């Protein structure tokens, strides 16, 4: 018999499948909120400080005011309690979703609700991918470059459509451009390229998500004194690169084998994965 699964809604355990909000929900209506996708390994929240720092920075930007009890340590305790109850404590994906309280769009409200969910992960997510990813360029949506473009908001439509397009075209992922036709990120990951011994990634003002693994890896690369630049990345640089790899909190680093007609190696990506993921 399959074990009963639970999620947390505003601090209380609820059985999976139980409705907890109605049609006036602002996340449903407007995408009004944000979320974190977190990996838990052997009871430890991987890169927890970066996740919670990004969450609270996002709450501030979205004018959502946490209650006094809503702290890093409170969230850590909630997550550990949930994975223990769901028997996911070894390896799990955690999603923490925040959304503003229900009211009309023109009402001023800084309060919010939150949901924490967990899913068991396969050990494969810990390994460097043997088979490189096949990718393409999604052109039907552009990432804007503003004060909210780096936040993982609940309005995720460009990435959703890019992921659907990738699946329809038998690709592993799709790259998105910003409004200046420069590289922003992928549907579920940040993008890094390697060319002539230098690693480059789009800067946050280029419209990409402020990825936690991205932040961690940039810190590690700089500490290793590896040539690196956080800057603009033009479309043609993708074809000129020797390597392309993608990063996110769950899979760490994955190397790209093919983009369009270009093929790539994985020497740098493999080294970084082994040393820092």
pLDDT by residue (tens digit) across 4-55?
Answer: 899 999 999 999 999 998 888 889 889 999 999 999 999 999 999 999 999 9
> Are 196 and 71 members of one domain?
no
Among candidate residues 226, 257, 244, the one with its CA nearest the CA of residue 185: 244
Q: Which residues pair with 263 in a beta bridge?
A: 258
Question: 22 — phi, psi (to 5°)?
Answer: -115, -170
Q: Which residue, of 55, 90, 122, is where some domain finishes? A: 122
Q: Which residue, of 103, 122, 141, is where some domain finishes? A: 122
How far is Cα 265 from Cα 2, in angstroms, rounded to an integer?
A: 43
% of the chain exceeding 90 in pLDDT: 90
Q: How confident is the model at residue 1 (pLDDT cuts 50, 70, 90)?
A: very low
Q: What is the DSSP letter of 207?
A: T
Q: What is the pLDDT of residues 201-216, one digit of tens each?
A: 999 999 999 999 999 9
Which pLDDT score is estimated for 121?
A: 96
Q: Which residues pair with 181 in a beta bridge?
A: none
Which pLDDT score is estimated for 24?
A: 86
Q: What is the pLDDT of residues 139-190, one digit of tens each?
A: 999 999 999 999 999 999 999 999 999 999 999 999 999 999 999 999 999 9
Query: Domain range for residue 253?
Result: 133-276
Q: How many residues does the chain have?
A: 277
Q: Which residues pair with 54 in a beta bridge?
A: none
Task: Tell me whether residue 128 is in a domain.
Answer: no
Task: Tell me whether residue 127 is in a domain.
Answer: no
Please state the separation of Cα 271 from the chain's center in Å: 22
Q: Which residues of 87-109 are buried (b: 16+ CB within 10 A; e: fewer)?
A: ebbebbbbebbbbbbbeeeeeee
> Are 207 and 87 members of one domain?
no
> Are 199 and 152 members of one domain?
yes
Q: What is the pTM of this model?
A: 0.93
Q: Which residue, of 122, 149, 173, is where some domain finishes? A: 122
For range 228-252, the mean pLDDT:
97
> Are 118 and 138 members of one domain?
no
> Are 192 and 240 members of one domain?
yes
Quickly list DSSP for 213-242. Answer: HHHHHHHHHHHTT--EEEE--BHHHHHH-S
> Are 83 and 143 members of one domain?
no
> Are 63 and 179 members of one domain?
no
Q: State how many domains the chain has.
A: 2
How far is Cα 175 from Cα 183, in angstroms, rounded to an integer?
A: 7
* Domain containing residue 167: CATH number: 3.20.10.10
């Amino acid at each position: 018999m399959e074990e009963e699964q639970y999620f947390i809604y505003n601090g209380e355990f609820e059985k999976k499948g139980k409705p907890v909000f109605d049609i006036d929900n602002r996340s449903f209506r407007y995408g009004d909120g944000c979320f974190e996708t977190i990996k838990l390994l052997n009871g430890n929240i991987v890169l927890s400080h970066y996740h919670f720092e990004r969450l609270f920075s996002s709450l501030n930007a979205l004018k959502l005011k946490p209650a006094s009890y809503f702290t890093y340590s409170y969230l850590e305790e909630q997550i550990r309690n949930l994975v223990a109850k769901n028997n996911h404590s070894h390896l799990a994906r955690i999603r923490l979703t925040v959304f503003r309280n229900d009211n009309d769009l023109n009402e001023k409200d800084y309060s919010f609700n939150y949901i924490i969910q967990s899913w068991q992960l396969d050990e494969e997510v810990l390994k460097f991918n043997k088979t490189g990813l096949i990718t393409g360029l999604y052109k039907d949506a552009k990432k804007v470059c503003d004060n909210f473009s780096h936040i993982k908001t609940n309005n995720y439509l460009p990435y959703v459509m890019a992921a659907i397009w990738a699946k329809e075209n038998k690709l592993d992922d799709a790259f998105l451009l910003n409004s200046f036709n420069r590289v922003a990120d992928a549907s579920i990951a940040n993008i890094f390229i390697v060319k002539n011994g230098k690693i480059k990634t789009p800067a946050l003002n280029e419209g990409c998500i402020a990825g936690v693994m991205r932040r961690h890896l940039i810190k590690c690369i700089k500490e290793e004194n590896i040539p690196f630049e956080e800057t603009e990345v033009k479309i043609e640089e993708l074809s000129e690169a020797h390597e392309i790899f993608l990063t996110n909190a769950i899979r760490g680093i994955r190397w790209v084998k093919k983009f369009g007609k270009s093929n790539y190696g994985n020497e740098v990506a493999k080294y970084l994965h082994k040393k820092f993921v």
